[in-house]
Amino acid sequence: MKEIAQKLLDNAGVRINGNNSWDIQVADERFYERVLSGGSLALGESYMDGWWDCGAIDQFIERILKARLDKKIKLSWCLIWDVFKTKLINQQRKSKARAIGERHYDLGNDLFQNMLDKRMVYSCAYWKDAKNLDEAQERKLDLICRKLKLESGMSILDIGCGWGSLAKFAAEKYGVKTVGITVSKEQKVLADKLCEGLNIEIKLQDYRDIKEKFDRIVSVGMFEHVGPKNYRKYMRVVNECLKNNGLFLLHTIGGESSKSLIDPWINKYIFPNAVLPSVEQIVRASEKKFVLEDWHNFGQDYDKTLMAWRKRFRDSWEIIKNRGNYSERFFRMWNYYLLSCAGSFRSHKIQLWQIVFSKVGSATHYESIR
């Protein structure tokens, strides 16, 4: 089994027990059969179990994805069943909407406060002319506000508002009124505290229950939880809630092809029922509802953002561990999550898109902002 594994890894320039930072160090000989039969899920789980290590997991993942090794290991029956289920069942239906909040965003505010920037922005930063994570996230927030052409007094809907970072920034810098919605109880508790005294309302609510009208609508890092069976419904809701001459900005991670589920390890341990949309899926869902005004790809910035988060997570681990009672296995899981995602962006396997839409029939004349 070791020989088969090494032959595959040769395509990526990776050596088992080699001396390069991207080479893997195998501590348990059962690793080879487990990964060759279980693919990416087994790769992540065996790392969590301490069966292998690597000096630079991000570089290792970048290399195996560029070499398309993920396509050369056959699907396990469990993964085939998961794919089949997504075809039959709406995994992101309303009754399951809060699962992502409970299993990820409710892990503990201490974890995210120590890992993220001072404004607690849990999405890709914009590193152009930025010296550090705090600056890069403020530049991203301002970029969104400028793309939406915000003016004082406007009403904004933030779908998937997180801890209220964008709502707070827009209220402070642009004088707008924002309604933010989240499916995470922990996010709402902290967002209410952070946004206190501003013209901001945070609601624990599913996007399908929104009935109000707004001048602008924005969604940052939430569309990945909507699911292909709901894309058209999502666009219909946004269209109905957006005033005639309004703008809608969608900020989302995107995949290179249309799929019905995310990487199985990410699905099981990090973002349950998440799916990365493709260009085709987004365009098809928005057809006859919106005019595509601008499409901005800066996926390379997510690589840098994830590496900054990983550094802060690692440097703050003792604080995070003691406050949240997290195990060493959780540390390895979270470390693998951040670094493997960085490698995925670096390999161009996944992208980061900011898309601006206007409503069909509006009188909007849009000029792109960078």
Domain count, the chain: 2
Residue 76: pLDDT over 90: no
248 with 185, same domain: the answer is yes
In a domain, residue 321? The reply is yes
68 with 103, same domain: the answer is no
CA atoms within 13 A on the CB side of 298: 18
**pLDDT tens per residue, range 233-243:** 999 999 999 99
113 with 259, same domain: the answer is yes
What integer is the mean pLDDT of 195-224? 97
pLDDT band at 70 (very low <50, low <70, confident <90, very high): confident
The helix-helix angle for 31-48 and 2-10 (nearest 10°) equals 70
Residue 85: pLDDT over 60: no
148 with 281, same domain: the answer is yes
120 with 67, same domain: the answer is no
137 with 283, same domain: the answer is yes
Residue 102: pLDDT over 90: no
Question: Which one is catalytic: 54, 161, 241, 341?
Answer: 341
Residue 15: pLDDT over 90: yes
In a domain, residue 292? The reply is yes
**For position 79, what pLDDT does the model report?**
43
64 with 176, same domain: the answer is no
**For position 203, what pLDDT does the model report?**
97
Residue 82: pLDDT over 50: no
Mean pLDDT of the residues in the chain: 92
Helix (H, G, I), strand (E, B) or coil at 136: helix
In a domain, residue 90? The reply is no
Residue 77: pLDDT over 60: no
CA triple 313-317-323, angle to 5 deg: 115
Partners of 53 in the β-ladder:
25
- Domain extent at residue 54: 2-74
pLDDT band at 229 (very low <50, low <70, confident <90, very high): very high
**For position 261, what pLDDT does the model report?**
82
- Tell me what percent of the residues of the chain surpass a pLDDT of 70: 91
Q: Provide DSSP, 326-357.
A: --HHHHHHHHHHHHHHHHHHHTTSEEEEEEEE
Calculate the alpha carbon distances from 174 to 39, 123, 140, 150, 367 in Å. Answer: 48, 21, 15, 7, 19
In a domain, residue 88? The reply is no
Count Cβ atoms within 10 A of the Cβ of residue 88 and give its class: 0-12 exposed, 13-18 middle, 19 or more buried.
exposed
pLDDT band at 104 (very low <50, low <70, confident <90, very high): confident
**pLDDT tens per residue, range 312-367:** 999 999 999 988 889 999 999 999 999 999 999 999 999 999 999 999 989 888 99
Question: What sign does the CA torsion over 24, 26, 27, 31 have?
Answer: positive
212 with 281, same domain: the answer is yes
In a domain, residue 327? The reply is yes
**For position 124, what pLDDT does the model report?**
98
**Per residue in 351-365, is it b (16+ CB within 10 Å) or e — as a string?**
bbbbbbbbbeebebe
Residue 288: pLDDT over 90: yes
Lowest mean pLDDT among 72-86, 96-110, 336-350: 72-86
In a domain, residue 20? The reply is yes
Lowest mean pLDDT among 76-85, 191-200, 221-230, 243-252: 76-85
Q: Which residues contact 308 (CB under 8 A, 6 or more apart)?
A: 125, 132, 133, 136
What integer is the mean pLDDT of 280-285? 98
106 with 28, same domain: the answer is no
Q: CATH number of the domain at 196, please.
A: 3.40.50.150
**For position 320, what pLDDT does the model report?**
93
pLDDT band at 169 (very low <50, low <70, confident <90, very high): very high
283 with 317, same domain: the answer is yes
- Tell me what percent of the residues of the chain surpass a pLDDT of 90: 84
In a domain, residue 80? The reply is no
Q: Is-catalytic flag, 341? A: yes
171 with 117, same domain: the answer is yes
pLDDT band at 43 (very low <50, low <70, confident <90, very high): very high
What is the distance between the terminal CA atoms of the chain, rounded to a whole angstrom?
A: 50
In a domain, residue 204? The reply is yes
What integer is the mean pLDDT of 242-271? 94
pLDDT band at 95 (very low <50, low <70, confident <90, very high): low
Amino acid, single-letter form, for residue 116: L
239 with 291, same domain: the answer is yes
